[in-house]
Amino acid sequence: MVQRSDDDFARIWSRIEQLSRAAIRITSEHELDRVLQTIADSARDVIGSQYAALAILDPRGKGVSSFVTSGITPEMHAKIGSPPGGRGVLGLLTTDPRPVRVRNLAEHPEAFGFPAYHPVMQSFLGVPILGRENPIGNLYLTEKIGAPEFTAEDESVAVMLAGHAAVAVQNARLYEKEAQLLQELKGMQQSRDRFYAMINHELRNALTATYGWADLWLRKAGTNPPREAVEVHESVEQTLTLLEDLLQLSRLDADKLHPQVQDADAREVVRDAVRSVEPAATRKNVEIETTGADQEIACRTDPQRVRQILINLLTNAVRHSPEDQAINVEVRLDTDYMRFDVVDRGEGIAAEDQAAIFEVFEQGREQRERGTGLGLALSRQLARLLGGDLGVESRLGHGARFILRLPRYVAAS
């Protein structure tokens, strides 16, 4: 058993502390170039060598994609010229990824020699940097300070340092890939937003005249309008609603839609929403009954967004209510929250489809006629924008109850 002196323990403890500090420095960086330079500098400092270098292999492992040095000045770099291509002793680590420790490089059988103006290097320590599956690079140290060669202890420390380096390099690559993907995603979002805005503008201009003529046609027809007039009016109205929903969904995704908070009376918001939907309900002989909104309901919220959600829910309820049936709007109130239930007596929604109806462009298998698949998705996102939520309770053949729950007092953003 090897007996170690107090000086040995002190030296070993000092190296462990150096290794720990180096690991912290290495893992604190995210950009790949900075990570590589930090590894090379830390290795030279911890191992105690005059020079250090780090070679990172390309993804195929057949060449060097990055080569970073420490201890060589910019002037020396300029004189030496191009970095090494991974031949000789340096390439040995790539073909046979095991540590190499040499007292004199010139005496090694794989020695390839140095280019002109390259500093003299004799003692050498090289360790592979091993990724999850394959080597991803090599760490080289030359010219041991204060000794003619590197020790077995130096080699062990270098291997541990290479382990930290492998994690740091792989994390940096993931970080750069994530940053690139994020930039591409932002570009796609901007293109999508421009597309939605252009489509919204052009189609809205084209449809406005059609909507106006269809509306005039309905007004002149009185209480018994032609079916054609009703269908044209409803189709244009649904298309305009779809355009607006698309635009708002794109703004929500880009965090560009913010609540316009103000003092309001929730009772009036409910009444406005009901009035907006009443013409469509009347044409279908569907009555909308409201309970719990007889007195003022003071709140602080975005009344326009609440009204929009309620109109979406009421329009959905009218579409799926049988003729001569009633839709109920129930308003409930406590100290902190308001709850609005919109209840129809339609075909209902299967349990397995209830989550899908709130996804963009998704509809339940029994709900294909429920529209574009945007209104409910947008309504839930708007509810969450206001700090609340939107859900549904339903069974096939027993109608549906959509539950909108919102804070009574929303903090201004």
One domain, residues 398 and 281 = yes
Strands 262-265 and 287-291: unpaired
Q: Are residues 281 and 176 in the same domain?
A: no
Does 64 map to a domain?
yes
* Domain region containing 325: 259-413
Cβ within 8 Å of residue 34, ≥6 positions away: none
Q: Are residues 158 and 269 in the same domain?
A: no
Q: Does a structural domain hold residue 203?
A: no
Q: Is residue 194 in a domain?
A: no
The answer to whether 364 and 346 are in contact (CB under 8 A) is no
- Considering the domain architecture, whether residues 265 and 162 belong to the same structural domain is answered as no
Cα dihedral value 47, 154, 33, 189, nearest 10: -130
Do 134 and 31 have their domain in common?
Answer: yes
Mark whether 376 and 278 lie in a shared domain: yes
Contact 44, 71 (CB under 8 A): yes
Residue 205 domain-assigned?
no
pLDDT at res. 329? 95
The phi and psi torsions of 133 (rounded to 5 degrees) equal -120, -40
Of 123, 155, 180, the one marking the end of a domain is 180
Asked which of 180, 211, 229 is the last residue of a domain, the reply is 180
Quote the CA–CA distance of 100 and 155 in Å, as a whole number: 9
Digitized pLDDT (tens) for each residue of the chain, 413 residues in all = 445 565 655 666 666 666 667 667 776 666 778 888 888 888 888 889 999 988 888 776 567 778 888 888 788 877 776 766 656 667 777 777 889 888 988 777 776 666 666 777 889 998 988 887 788 888 899 999 999 999 998 998 888 888 888 888 888 878 878 878 878 777 776 776 676 666 666 666 667 767 777 777 777 877 777 777 777 777 777 676 666 666 666 666 656 678 889 999 999 999 999 998 898 888 889 999 999 877 888 999 999 889 989 998 998 899 888 888 899 999 998 778 999 999 999 888 888 888 888 876 555 444 444 444 578 888 898 899 899 999 999 988 888 999 999 999 988 76
User: What CATH number is given to the structural domain containing 328?
Assistant: 3.30.565.10
In one-letter notation, the amino acid at residue 253 is: D
CATH code for the domain in which residue 144 is found: 3.30.450.40
- Bridge partners for 301 per DSSP: 262
Instruction: Establish if 105 belongs to a structural domain.
Output: yes
Q: How far from chain centre, in Å, is Cα 277?
A: 37
Q: What is the DSSP letter of 339?
A: E
Residue 99 located in a structural domain:
yes
Looking at the structure, tell me whether residues 274 and 155 fall in a common domain: no
The domain boundary residue, chosen from 125, 149, 180: 180
Q: Does one domain contain both 173 and 267?
A: no
pLDDT at 401: 94
Same domain, 159 and 270: no
Strands 287-291 and 326-333: parallel
Specify if 253 maps to a domain: no
Whether 268 and 176 map to the same domain: the answer is no
* Together in a domain, 387 and 289: yes
DSSP assignment string, 12-69: HHHHHHHHHHHHHHHHH--SHHHHHHHHHHHHHHHHTEEEEEEEEE-TTSSSEEEEEE
- How many domains does the chain divide into? 2
- Residues 164 and 286 placed together within one structural domain of the fold: no
Q: Assess if residue 51 is contained within a domain.
A: yes
